[in-house]
């Protein structure tokens, strides 16, 4: 009797489970439910917004229920030229009909044009570019090239820095949340306080003669939207020149007009030996590029990638950079970003500690739990990101208008007021 009861219970339990998961999967208006499927099969590693992104145009994103959002996540700082920018869409579609893949074992017309375009926006001391597929790869190349060019192995990075999640770039990253499960990391990485040239000098003296490079973000993104100081970066450059250390500037998040100039380091008047870029470079198509000065030496076959510099991404990058230039998007980032920051600073709220940033990379340091604030904004049709535990981050497409900024500021007032 007991065996029969257990059998029936097991059958009943299995059927109920099946019905439950089927109804989860099919419960969104009778169609397949992407939220249930993604929850079931992905590792759910990030904070998932209850939004099914369906369609994008310019600064707007629509979900599967037809709701419209002003998108200040922008693909995580990728959509500088807006969602589905028509020029980028055309470039991708035209190229897709001709050739999608071509490894660098052979030459390619679109890639060669892309090299020329990238060189046209780089400062004159930059002589070579390594093309890859993401930010972490761009940083990984910078670290490897620094070792191959100097024969030295140590690196200095900043506290709160974020440089990526592969083993080298992760070793340069500061926050232990990203690192603790993956140790031992690459040896030779040392972290010093950001914007503090005395602390840096002290560390350089301690490691004298063994440092390949200093790697810094010109405005720390993931670490809490912390702008770098001009005097600090100038002092870092001077120290690098004096000690024969390479200077790597990581512009994966700040590049391509985001802070009001094509690259953020231009605000400081410095010359990085290596410049890491990715995210916005190709209007949403995965791509990275590591710009290098003549000091950088990489032996033949010492590095490479299958997809880096594929014609599809190269076509997208050319169209993206042309859009940034033609529409003067960096100037718009400076003007509208300045307005955005001034309007946010006018909000009187006990929950706001500080508003900071550059151009259209803006952070609000808050006293409330940041995900609660983000959920409140989502309900009001504004998507934004977190940067650490207590900073709200806005990375909108660069063609955003003051009128759209007013809508965002109103939503922030309602949530934090
Ligand atoms: C400054 C910086 N470097 C590197 C990365 C890593 O880029 P990816 O996620 O494309 O690997 C990021 C990503 O947010 C970043 O902000």
Three-class SS string for 19-60? Answer: HHHHHHHHCECCECCHHHHHHHHCCCCCCCCCCCEEEEEECE
361 closest CA partner among 379, 377, 384: 384
Is 135 near ligand 1, meaning CB less than 6 Å away? yes
Q: Summarize pLDDT for 99-137 with one digit per residue, the tens.
A: 999 998 899 999 999 999 999 999 999 999 999 999 999
Tokens representing 170 are 């992760």
Specify the pLDDT at position 10: 44
Q: In terms of domains, do 183 and 106 share one?
A: yes
Specify the pLDDT at position 19: 46
Greatest pairwise CA separation for the chain in angstroms: 86
Q: In terms of domains, do 18 and 75 share one?
A: no
Specify the pLDDT at position 31: 65
Could you tell me the pLDDT band of residue 4, with boundaries at 50, 70 and 90? very low
Could you tell me the pLDDT band of residue 32, with boundaries at 50, 70 and 90? confident
Specify the pLDDT at position 131: 98
CATH code, 369: 3.90.1150.10
Average pLDDT, stretch 49-57? 93
Going from the Cα of 351 to the center of ligand 1, the distance in angstroms, rounded, reads: 29
Going from the Cα of 7 to the center of ligand 1, the distance in angstroms, rounded, reads: 52
- Give φ, ψ of 19 to 5 degrees: -60, -45
Which residue owns the Cα nearest ligand 1 atom 3?
163
Is 258 near ligand 1, meaning CB less than 6 Å away? no
Angle of helix 329-346 versus helix 402-416 axis, rounded to 10: 30
C-alpha 50/C-alpha 379 separation (Å) is: 10
C-alpha 71/C-alpha 45 separation (Å) is: 21
C-alpha 251/C-alpha 357 separation (Å) is: 15
Please give the tally of structural domains in the chain: 3
Q: Summarize pLDDT for 395-408 with one digit per residue, the tens.
A: 999 999 999 999 99
By percentage, how much of the chain surpasses pLDDT 90?
89
In 48-175, alpha helices (H): 74-77, 86-98, 109-121, 135-150, 167-172
β pairing state of 219-220 and 154-158: unpaired
C-alpha 374/C-alpha 372 separation (Å) is: 5
Q: In terms of domains, do 305 and 189 share one?
A: yes
CA 217 to the chain's CA centroid:
11
Going from the Cα of 82 to the center of ligand 1, the distance in angstroms, rounded, reads: 19
Return all residues near 310 (Cβ < 8 A) that are at least 6 apart: 100, 101, 102, 111
Q: In terms of domains, do 125 and 212 share one?
A: yes
Q: What is the DSSP letter of 83?
A: B
Q: Which helix (H) or strand (E) holds 247?
A: strand 246-250
Is 80 near ligand 1, meaning CB less than 6 Å away? no
CATH code, 306: 3.40.640.10
Q: In terms of domains, do 56 and 32 share one?
A: no
157 closest CA partner among 193, 198, 197, 205: 193
Specify the pLDDT at position 49: 81
Point out the domain boundary residue: 309, 326, 343: 326
Is 281 near ligand 1, meaning CB less than 6 Å away? no
Could you tell me the pLDDT band of residue 16, with boundaries at 50, 70 and 90? very low
Q: In terms of domains, do 130 and 275 share one?
A: yes
Pocket test for ligand 1, best of 80, 136, 157, 393 (most atoms within 8 A of CB): 136
Going from the Cα of 162 to the center of ligand 1, the distance in angstroms, rounded, reads: 7
Specify the pLDDT at position 11: 47
Specify the pLDDT at position 30: 52
By percentage, how much of the chain surpasses pLDDT 70?
92
Secondary structure class of 154 (helix, strand, coil): strand
Q: Summarize pLDDT for 346-390 with one digit per residue, the tens.
A: 999 999 999 999 999 999 999 999 999 999 999 999 999 999 889
Going from the Cα of 91 to the center of ligand 1, the distance in angstroms, rounded, reads: 25
Q: In terms of domains, do 54 and 33 share one?
A: no
Q: In terms of domains, do 96 and 76 share one?
A: no
- Whether 341 has a pLDDT exceeding 70, the answer reads yes
Q: In terms of domains, do 106 and 29 share one?
A: no
Point out the domain boundary residue: 326, 352, 381: 326
Could you tell me the pLDDT band of residue 28, with boundaries at 50, 70 and 90? low
Point out the domain boundary residue: 326, 351, 375: 326
Q: In terms of domains, do 160 and 304 share one?
A: yes
Output the average pLDDT for the chain. 93
Q: Summarize pLDDT for 199-255 with one digit per residue, the tens.
A: 999 999 999 999 999 999 999 999 999 999 999 999 999 999 999 999 999 999 999
Could you tell me the pLDDT band of residue 140, with boundaries at 50, 70 and 90? very high
Q: In terms of domains, do 336 and 319 share one?
A: no
Q: Summarize pLDDT for 62-74 with one digit per residue, the tens.
A: 999 999 999 999 9
Domain extent for 6: 1-37
Are 372 and 334 in contact, with CB atoms under 8 Å apart?
Answer: no
Q: In terms of domains, do 179 and 310 share one?
A: yes
Specify the pLDDT at position 388: 87
């Amino acid at each position: 009797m007991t065996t029969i009861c257990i059998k029936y219970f097991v059958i009943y339990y299995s059927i109920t489970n099946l019905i439950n998961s089927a109804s989860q999967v099919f419960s969104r208006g009778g169609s397949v439910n992407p939220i249930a499927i993604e929850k079931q099969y992905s590792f759910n590693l990030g904070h998932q917004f209850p939004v099914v992104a369906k369609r994008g145009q310019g600064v707007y994103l629509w979900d599967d229920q037809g709701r419209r959002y002003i998108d200040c996540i922008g693909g995580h700082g990728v959509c500088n030229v807006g969602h589905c920018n028509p020029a980028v869409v055309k470039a991708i579609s035209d190229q897709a009909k001709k050739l999608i893949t071509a490894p660098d074992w052979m030459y390619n017309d679109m890639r060669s044009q892309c090299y020329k375009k990238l060189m046209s926006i780089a400062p004159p001391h930059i002589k070579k570019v390594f093309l890859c597929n993401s930010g972490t790869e761009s940083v990984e190349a910078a670290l490897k090239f620094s070792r191959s060019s100097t024969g030295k192995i140590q690196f200095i990075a900043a506290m709160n820095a974020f440089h990526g999640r592969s083993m080298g770039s992760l070793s340069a990253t500061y926050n232990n949340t990203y690192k603790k499960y993956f140790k031992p990391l690459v040896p030779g990485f040392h972290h010093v306080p950001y914007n503090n040239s005395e602390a840096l000098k002290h560390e350089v003296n301690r490691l004298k003669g063994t440092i390949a490079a200093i790697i810094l973000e010109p405005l720390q993104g993931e670490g809490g939207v912390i702008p770098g100081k001009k005097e600090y970066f100038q002092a870092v450059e001077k120290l690098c020149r004096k000690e024969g250390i390479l200077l790597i500037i990581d512009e994966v998040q700040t590049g391509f007009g985001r802070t009001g100039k094509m690259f953020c380091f231009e605000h400081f008047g410095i010359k990085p030996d290596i410049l890491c870029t990715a995210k916005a470079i190709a209007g949403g198509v995965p791509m990275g590029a590591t710009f290098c000065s003549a000091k950088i030496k990489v032996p033949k076959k010492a590095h490479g990638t299958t997809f880096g510099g594929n014609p599809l991404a190269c076509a997208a990058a050319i169209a993206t950079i042309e859009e940034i230039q033609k529409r003067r998007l960096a100037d718009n980032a400076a003007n509208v970003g300045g307005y955005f920051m001034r309007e946010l600073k006018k909000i009187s709220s006990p929950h706001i500690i500080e508003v900071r940033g550059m151009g259209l990379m803006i952070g609000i340091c808050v006293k409330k739990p940041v995900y609660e604030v983000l959920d409140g904004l989502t309900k009001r049709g504004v998507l934004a990101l977190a940067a650490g535990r207590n900073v709200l981050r806005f990375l909108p497409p660069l063609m955003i208008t003051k009128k759209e900024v007013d809508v965002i500021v109103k939503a922030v007032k309602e949530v934090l007021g």
